[in-house]
Amino acid sequence: MKAIINDAELHYEDFGRQTATPVVLIHGFPFSHAMWQPQIELLKSKYRVIAYDVRGHGNSEVGDGQYLIEFFVDDLIGLLDHLKIEKTILCGLSMGGYTALRAVERNPERFHALILCDTSSEADTNEGKLRRSSTIKVVKRDGVKAFAETFLKAVFTPESLENRVDIVQFIRDIIGSASPIGICGTLLALAGRTETTSSLPTMKLPTLILVGELDKLTPPSISQMMHSKLPNSELHILPRAAHLSNLENPEEFNTHLLNFLNKLEERDT
């Protein structure tokens, strides 16, 4: 499905009954909504599941590549308005988590609960900004496919790279089809994002934090810090998983996800 949100055409998928409790999934960089397939299949029989492509990703419009996380939050709120969803459960992985945290900071009244996966509330350090700059140069010089091969090594465990060729190829294909303008524009947005750590103690909504034990990009120590500051949170560290914990260990990821959603349901009845 397509919708014009803030002058950009966004692609989204809407699964399940329209009257069911909505769950919105925000993918990581530089992926698409397709990365959530195991969770969509799990949830769509009971929940209304919205999975969309962030601008510059997947089948959404690329535009001029001048992005900020603020624009991604504007798009999220705009999509909720378009779908007439007043309040939702929000789930984001990595970049999706940055967007989710800023959305809750800006518009807390729009969210029932928060699910943070392999993400961080911190802004980029100077070293991090310089790494983003180097990556932009790689994309511009060597192309998206060369960037993808390096990026795959950062987001998967060595075991997955060797033995899970299906999911590795699945993500390789998603990255390989991405626009270089979208990739570079998003890297600028990630480098320029604000921190949300100082706001964590004010975020009272129920929060589930999931992270792969071998995540090098947003390691468990960051999730532990967020857990210590979020007053109504629970944390689970997933074995045999790195940055894409929802794909590398979907069994445990989905178990914790369902348990959390069931507890929300029991609390609200």
Q: Look up tokens 């900004």; give the residue.
A: 129
Q: Helix, strand, coil: what percent of the chain each, to 5?
A: 50, 15, 30
The pLDDT-based confidence of 169 (bands split at 50, 70, 90) is very high
**Is the predicted pLDDT of residue 17 greater than 80, yes or no?**
yes
Q: What average pLDDT does range 203-219 have in this prediction?
A: 98
Q: What average pLDDT does range 218-241 have in this prediction?
A: 98
> pLDDT tens digit string along 134-168?
999 999 999 999 999 999 999 999 999 999 999 99
**Is the predicted pLDDT of residue 268 greater than 90, yes or no?**
no
Average pLDDT, the chain: 97
The pLDDT-based confidence of 267 (bands split at 50, 70, 90) is confident
Q: Which residues constitute the domain of residue 176?
A: 2-268
Helix axes 95-106, 180-191, angle to 10 degrees: 50
Q: What average pLDDT does range 79-106 have in this prediction?
A: 98
Residue 88 and residue 111 in contact, taking contact as beta carbons nearer than 8 Å: yes
Q: Look up tokens 């009272």; give the residue.
A: 204
Which pLDDT score is estimated for 4?
98
Q: Look up tokens 């809750």; give the residue.
A: 104
Q: What average pLDDT does range 170-181 have in this prediction?
A: 98
CA distance 264 to 227: 18
The pLDDT-based confidence of 3 (bands split at 50, 70, 90) is very high
Q: What average pLDDT does range 54-81 have in this prediction?
A: 98
**Is the predicted pLDDT of residue 67 greater than 90, yes or no?**
yes
pTM of the shown model? 0.98
CATH code for the domain of 34: 3.40.50.1820
Q: What average pLDDT does range 171-178 have in this prediction?
A: 97
**Is the predicted pLDDT of residue 269 greater than 80, yes or no?**
no
Which pLDDT score is estimated for 48?
98
Which pLDDT score is estimated for 116?
99
Instruction: Determine how β-strand 48-52 pairs with β-strand 22-26.
Output: parallel
| Percent of the chain residues topping a pLDDT of 90 | 99
Which pLDDT score is estimated for 152?
98
For the chain, how many structural domains are there in total?
A: 1
